Amino acid sequence: MNTSKPPTMDLQNLNPSSLKSRFATRFLRALTKINAQKPISPSSPTEIFQRYRRIKVAADKSMAYSVRSRRTWSRATLWRLRTRSPRSRLATLARRSSVKTRTTTVVDKTSHGKENKEERGAGLGVEEEELRELVPGGEAMDLCNLLDETAHYIKCLTTQVQVMRTIANLYSLD
């Protein structure tokens, strides 16, 4: 099977402006902040859970910031993180539902225009919708751009996983 070590961790030649290093610096800074805010000792589940939430948010945020606004998914993530309070969740849902109706009409049109069988068009649509839900900001894109965004998102996610895994290993060794 695959090697245990992440294959693309070329640590000797770490490009300081690569996505990986940008994300790593940001994330580490956020981690120190989180460490500084809370006392370290307690092990109660709530504490751990809250810390987990914060760390996850920090990870997503640092990844999105490393990508800036160049990608739709990063913009959507940042937007989502900024308006995370419950009162604006309604706004998020409203926005998402309105956008979704728009997208579904677009999907219907194209599936009618194609010469594919109806079930095939619908079958593709189901997975498309799932993908749209997974990729942040994917609701308002056509399939072409959605695939682009997915590719970039996958690349960034793998980077994120690599860096976080290394950090977790570092933590556990100290």
Partner 1 sequence: MLHRLESLESCNYNGMGVAVLERQAASLKWQQQNYVVQHNNLVELCASSMPQLQGLTGSNLGSGQMVELKRPEVFLGSDDFQEFVNFPVAGAEFGDSEKLDMVPPEAAADYCISRTSSCQMTALNTSVMKEEREDMILEKMESTTGSGRKSFNKRKPEAVADHKGKNKRIKGEGEPEVKTKCSTEISRNSSKENSKASEVQKLDYIHVRARRGQATDSHSLAERARREKISKKMKCLQDLVPSCNKITGKAGMLDEIINYVQSLQRQVEFLSMKIAALNSSVQFNVENLTMKEFPAYVANFPAAAKLPAMASLPYFQLNPLQKESVNCMLNESMLPPQTATEGIASASVSISEQSLSSSSMTQLQPFSTWNMDPQDIVPGIISNFKREYNFKCHYSPSYKTYSNDSDSYHS
Q: Which of residues 34-73 bind partner 1 (CB under 8 A)?
A: 34-35, 40-49, 51-52, 54-56, 59-60
Closest approach, Cβ 94 to partner 1, in A, equals 23
Please tell me whether residue 86 binds partner 1 under the rule CB under 8 A. no
In 3D space, the residue among 26, 110, 86 whose CA is nearest the CA of residue 60 turns out to be 26
Measured in degrees and rounded to the nearest 5, phi and psi for residue 3 equal -75, 160
Neighbours of 60 (CB within 10 A): 18
Closest approach, Cβ 70 to partner 1, in A, equals 18
Number of residues this chain uses to bind partner 1 (CB under 8 A): 71
Please tell me whether residue 122 binds partner 1 under the rule CB under 8 A. no
Coil, strand, or helix at residue 129?
helix
**Which amino acid would we find at residue 25?**
T
Alpha-carbon span 42 to 56, nearest angstrom:
19
Closest approach, Cβ 97 to partner 1, in A, equals 22
> What Å distances lie between residue 97 and 79, 100, 104, CA to CA?
16, 5, 10
Contact 107, 128 (CB under 8 A): yes
Q: For partner 1, give the closer residue by CB, 50 or 98.
A: 50
Q: For partner 1, give the closer residue by CB, 71 or 98.
A: 71
Residue 166's contacts (CB-CB under 8 Å, 6 or more residues apart) are 6, 9
Closest approach, Cβ 99 to partner 1, in A, equals 20
Please tell me whether residue 174 binds partner 1 under the rule CB under 8 A. yes
| Stretch binding partner 1 (CB under 8 A), from 3-11, 76-84, 90-98, 100-108 | 3-11
| Stretch binding partner 1 (CB under 8 A), from 26-34, 80-88, 90-98, 101-109 | 26-34
Please tell me whether residue 141 binds partner 1 under the rule CB under 8 A. no
In 3D space, the residue among 158, 149, 159 whose CA is nearest the CA of residue 22 turns out to be 159
Please tell me whether residue 3 binds partner 1 under the rule CB under 8 A. yes
Please tell me whether residue 157 binds partner 1 under the rule CB under 8 A. yes
Alpha-carbon span 104 to 25, nearest angstrom:
40
